[in-house]
Structure 1
Amino acid sequence: MANGTDYYAVLGVSSNATADEVKKQYRRLAKQYHPDANQNDPKAAERFKEISEAYNVIGDAEKRKQYDDMRRLGAFGGVGGFSQGGARSSSRPGGFGGTGPGQAGAGTFTDFDVGGIGGLGDLFSSMFGGGAARGRNKGPERGQTVEQTVEVPFRVAATGGKVPVEIEVNEECAMCHGSGAAPGAQLKPCGECGGRGVISFGQGSFAVNRPCPVCMGRGSVPSERCPACRGTGEARVRRKVLITVPAGAESGHKVRLRGQGGKGASGGQAGDLVITFDVLPDRFYKRDGLDLIATVPINVAQATLGSRISVRTLDGKKVALRIPAGTSAGKRFKISGQGVEKDGKKGDMLVEVTITVPDTLNEAQEKAMRDFAEASGLKY
């Protein structure tokens, strides 16, 4: 991608966009600019490549965090000595200042450490898939870490259980095994980066290496692209995973499943799956810490004279509850030990009564109410 292009701008989302918003926008753009749907428009293929590269970073939680760190340091805008118009070099191995690989050139990013976050070259390397290491001697790469929000029914979150989740991850293309080449295609050195797999860009005495956007860091380009992945070396696949919801889980609770994310490339370790729970509301229960609040309607006669009602607990059992005479709306009654259990502690169920008034009365009911009103000295 061009020097310092903002990946958020490429996808048309704000830097505060959620993972779901980014994914939704990527799908929309990928469908719009996919080469198969735009065979007579060569610019669409370039746009599709830009969109895919942007989502490869913004769509990955760890890469996005690193990328955001770089943006704050000004590596993608006018701050910190970089700008959209910064010079780029693909011919000098050490970037600007005439330094070679491994040399401590004047202010090269590969040797520049900021505030304990490590070398900025390392950040770029990890963000874009390993920099020069992605070249002709590509080593194992860790798979994509996937973050996803999952809706969980209230009662499953309260008592614990399992929910199925469908995730979408980038995995190494099964046809070309990540090379991007069609079966039998020949590989030749990339003309953009001279076969190095990286290009350098920057301004003044600063420069940073990043994977070549033409060969995608491989250092070579195929005579014919893989028809399955169109030369990207990756495939977008959907996979179903069964997630265990611990008892007492609340909205915002996260679980990390090691090795359940994207498949690693070249024998690398699989990424993780990070799930954030979004607990759905229940029509009967509400939650206050470990306590459950259940709203139960009673009529005027029950509230006035007292009554015995039946209340269903979270585990489906019925518990008898005595409503005393003269109960007012909003009164709460506690059923001990029938709340949410978590970490060895268990809350209570709080039954809150509401008083319902009938819309219509039959003749006998109306007479009884009038007699009651007159006996009470009420005027109506």
Structure 2
Amino acid sequence: MSKRDYYEVLGVARNASEEELKRAYRRCAMKHHPDRNPGDASALDKFKECKEAYEVLSDGGKRRIYDQHGHAAFEHGMGGGNAGPGFGGPDMGDIFGDIFGNIFGGGAGRGPRRGADVGYVLDLDLEEAVAGLEKRLELPTMAECEPCNGTGSEDGKLETCETCHGRGQVRYQRGIFSMQQPCPHCHGRGQTFRNPCAACRGNGRVEEEKVLSVKIPPGVDTGDRIRLAGEGEAGPAGAPPGDLYVEVRVRPHGIFVRDGDDLHCEVPIRITQAALGDTVRVPTLGGDAEIRIPAETQTGKVFRLRGKGVKSVRSRSAGDLYCKAVVETPINLTNEQRELLDRFEKTFTGENARRHSPRSSTFLDGVKGFWERMVS
């Protein structure tokens, strides 16, 4: 079967920069890495394919030869000792280790990887997020087995693995490619035991419910994360544990909408309050406050209360509270109220009505101009 074009394999243009090649190789290798696709032969083939492509295209000399002659240059040995993959070029195990060591737990001789990080989504009310509090968390996790102290051995006796000779890694040679993987015999520990622990069945870890108390600082918001070092899953064979990341999610509030350090709310007022003016009480997170509604207030007018917003974890001072006036139409009217409103409405006649309704006048003028333009 003919080989695919190396640029096509990595999904980059032929004029791609070194950084673009590296990013493309990282994506490709992560997607098809054997650790992520155990037992998938097609994924292994694609993984090797992207390694081969990157080896050639990341080397300036090999890339120039490939651009001129394609795959034939390497199949027939063109370009000298540094021409083709596997012919005096760099060890692909080293290349992989440089780029992916931190992602997949490092290269040979580093033993078992640390425990997995754990994520936890914590839902809070707005009041809780603003004030801060201490929360009790209950979460399932993999903890170190106490009877064997995480070794997996019933009697605590460990032996050097005969397969990897204590390195925790084994190297596989497949044609011109050399790959390193965790030792299948000791699972990357570098040590084995004859008597597995009965409590954890030799795994060194057991499932349990962990209870933690986490302090939530005042002012957190949706998306903020709190890291608890060492509170993730226990590492295999006594390796260090991972971390716990608590992500905050603030529930929608019945009154306030948060925007950074500021809060927004709507304040309903009656027609008479809007027309004649009044003082109304509005809620804040610290208790009630008063705002002065001037006469002739229109729906949508915003009143600002300084310092009545939120002091976030990143701020030195609190934000503001913005109250938008919303004029309500009265309902459930009595006969007397209807008569009064009817008498009031009859006072709006002719040009007098336009003088008292600024938004209506603007709207009518706009409609008139629209039809005049349509007719002309």
Scaled by the length of structure 1, what TM-score is found?
0.60
Change in 2 beyond 3 A, CA 1:211/1:373: same
CA contact (8 A) 1:170 1:262 kept: yes
Check if 1:126 corresponds to 2:109. no
Alignment of 1:106-145 (within 5 A): 108-110=91-93, 112-113=94-95, 118=98, 122=101, 126=105, 134=111, 142-145=114-117
Deviation at 1:187, TM superposition (A): 8.1
Number of the residue aligned with 1:81: 48
* AA in 2 matched with 1:81: K
Q: Distance in 2 between matches of 1:305 and 1:279?
A: 39
Most deviating of 349-358 and 72-81: 72-81
Deviation at 1:336, TM superposition (A): 1.7
Check if 1:169 corresponds to 2:169. no
- Cα deviation code 1:93-117 (max 9, x no counterpart): xxxxxxxxxxxx976554x135xx7
- The correspondence for 2:217, drawn from 221, 243, 246, is 246
* AA in 1 matched with 2:290: A
* AA in 1 matched with 2:291: L
Number of the residue aligned with 2:208: 237
Q: Distance in 2 between matches of 1:229 and 1:82?
A: 39
Check if 1:357 corresponds to 2:325. no
- Cα deviation code 1:9-67 (max 9, x no counterpart): xxxxxxxxxxxxxxxxxxxxxxxxxxxxxxxxxxxxxxxxxxxxxxxxxxxxxxxxxxx
Q: Distance in 2 between matches of 1:245 and 1:186?
A: 43
Check if 1:337 corresponds to 2:307. yes
* AA in 1 matched with 2:48: G
Number of the residue aligned with 1:348: 320
Change in 2 beyond 3 A, CA 1:324/1:226: same
Number of the residue aligned with 1:373: 345
Number of the residue aligned with 2:29: 71
* AA in 2 matched with 1:216: H
Change in 2 beyond 3 A, CA 1:202/1:248: farther
Q: Distance in 1 between matches of 2:277 and 2:262?
A: 25
Change in 2 beyond 3 A, CA 1:277/1:375: same
- Cα deviation code 1:348-380 (max 9, x no counterpart): 11111222223421212221221211222499x
Check if 1:307 corresponds to 2:286. no
Partner SS state of residue 171, structure 2: strand
Deviation at 1:341, TM superposition (A): 1.9
Q: Distance in 1 between matches of 2:150 and 2:31?
A: 32
Q: Distance in 1 between matches of 2:300 and 2:271?
A: 13
Number of the residue aligned with 2:83: none
Number of the residue aligned with 1:291: 262
Change in 2 beyond 3 A, CA 1:196/1:251: closer
Change in 2 beyond 3 A, CA 1:356/1:368: same
Alignment of 1:50-65 (within 5 A): none
Partner SS state of residue 343, structure 2: helix
Number of the residue aligned with 1:46: none
Partner SS state of residue 231, structure 1: coil
Deviation at 1:310, TM superposition (A): 0.9
Q: Distance in 2 between matches of 1:295 and 1:81?
A: 61
Check if 1:319 corresponds to 2:289. yes
Partner SS state of residue 188, structure 2: coil
Number of the residue aligned with 2:244: 273
Higher Rg of the two aligned structures: 2
Change in 2 beyond 3 A, CA 1:124/1:247: closer
Unaligned runs of 5+ in 2: 1-25, 35-42, 51-87, 354-376
Percent of paired sites with the same residue: 29
Deviation at 1:304, TM superposition (A): 2.4
Number of the residue aligned with 1:60: none
Q: Distance in 2 between matches of 1:72 and 1:266?
A: 25
- The correspondence for 2:179, drawn from 199, 208, 218, is 208
Unaligned runs of 5+ in 1: 1-67, 84-104
Deviation at 1:284, TM superposition (A): 0.8
Q: Could you say what the CA RMSD is over the residues aligned between the two structures, in angstroms?
A: 3.9
Deviation at 1:314, TM superposition (A): 1.1
* AA in 2 matched with 1:326: E
* AA in 2 matched with 1:146: V
Deviation at 1:197, TM superposition (A): 5.0
- The correspondence for 2:130, drawn from 158, 165, 171, is 158
* AA in 2 matched with 1:126: G
Higher helix share: 2
Check if 1:149 corresponds to 2:128. no
Higher RCO (CA 8 Å, separation ≥ 6 residues): 1
Alignment of 1:258-269 (within 5 A): 258-263=229-234, 269=240
